A and B are shown apart, each in its own frame.
Chain A
Amino acid sequence: MNDTKDVVERKEELQERRPDVPVVTPAVDIYENDDEILLYADMPGVEKDGINVNIDNGRLTLSGTRRMEASGAANWEEFGGVEYRRVFSVPQTIDMDKVNAELKDGVLRLHLPKSEAAKPKQIEIKIA
């Protein structure tokens, strides 16, 4: 009977998948009026095709990756390649089809229009 069992098990199948650039949360401003919700996120150095906006089941995920270009010898580097990522809960009252975004000067401006039913309506009071 030779039942040897490794006392210390190496769990090699549970490799942690690390992203190639560090993940960081971008600074964000949130505004609202009767028609829409606005989300402005600072993502300097991120190109349009590096941005991913995803809404699923009331969760909005913003992500944008900045990659550094190949460069000469660096005397100093205070910032590097980074993935900006932030997740928000959005109310059900958002009209998913009308969500749009623009990227200008490193700021992502996301428009989340509210569906018609959610817009505040003035109720008229009739004197009977």
Chain B
Amino acid sequence: MRTRISEFDRLFGSMDLLRNRMNRLFADFDRLYGGDLQGMWREDYPPTNLYDFGDRLEIRAMVPGLNREDLNVKIQGNYLEINGTRKSDAPEGYEAHRIERPTATFSRSFTLPCEVDADRVEAHLKNGMLTLVMPKPEAAKPKQIAIS
């Protein structure tokens, strides 16, 4: 007795489903989990990105809910320190149903890939994102070498 073709269809159909689920599993694994990543209970808060533009270094840090007074940035040579406190902005007279946004003090230090000119560093804070532009001193800038 010939097995009906539809039986095979069902078999492969479920295998397809399994394969799709497995594929998504691996994709999800690589995905940034914002909930975890933003948590202040990590040792290295705030999350930062460091970019090298050749003539300067730029570091961007995610610091939602902070203003200038809450942050403290120190630079010396190739050592950078970012400290701050996030205070609660709970409004007066309201009952809190759910609090997920943390309020804590943080401190994080970095060893930059090269020395920077501390006198010419600029810092901007916008939309909860801190950007530090750190120009490199002349000696640290990459130079084009001409081949004779």
Chain A residues at the B interface, C-beta cutoff of 8 Å? 5, 7-9, 11, 16, 22, 24-33, 38, 40, 42-47, 71-80, 82, 84, 103, 105-107
Do A79 and B50 form a contact, CB below 8 Å, given A24-B33, A31-B90, A106-B127?
A: no
- Inter-chain contact B32/A106, CB cutoff 8 Å: no
Number of residue pairs A-B, CB distance < 8 angstroms: 135
Instruction: Please report whether the interface of chain A is mostly helix, strand, loop or mixed according to DSSP.
Output: loop
Q: A44-B128, A75-B50, A105-B65 are in contact. Are A82 and B100 (CB under 8 A)?
A: no
Q: How far is the CA of A106 from the CA of B97 in the complex (A)?
A: 21
A120–chain B nearest beta-carbon distance, Å: 12
In the complex, the chain A residue whose C-beta lies closest to that of B37 is A79
Residues of A within 8 A of B96 (CB): 29-31
Q: Please, how many angstroms separate the alpha-carbon atoms of A80 and B113 in the complex?
A: 21
Give how many B residues have a beta carbon under 8 Å from the other chain's beta carbons: 48
Do the beta carbons of B47 and A105 come within 8 Å of each other? Answer: no
Residues of A within 8 A of B66 (CB): 105
Whether, in the assembled complex, B129 has its beta carbon less than 8 Å from a beta carbon of chain A, the answer is yes
- The answer to whether residues A45 and B128 also contact, given A72-B53, A107-B89 and a CB cut-off of 8 A, is yes
Bound CA span A107–B90, Å: 13
Bound together, the chains give a CA A9 to CA B6 distance in angstroms of 11
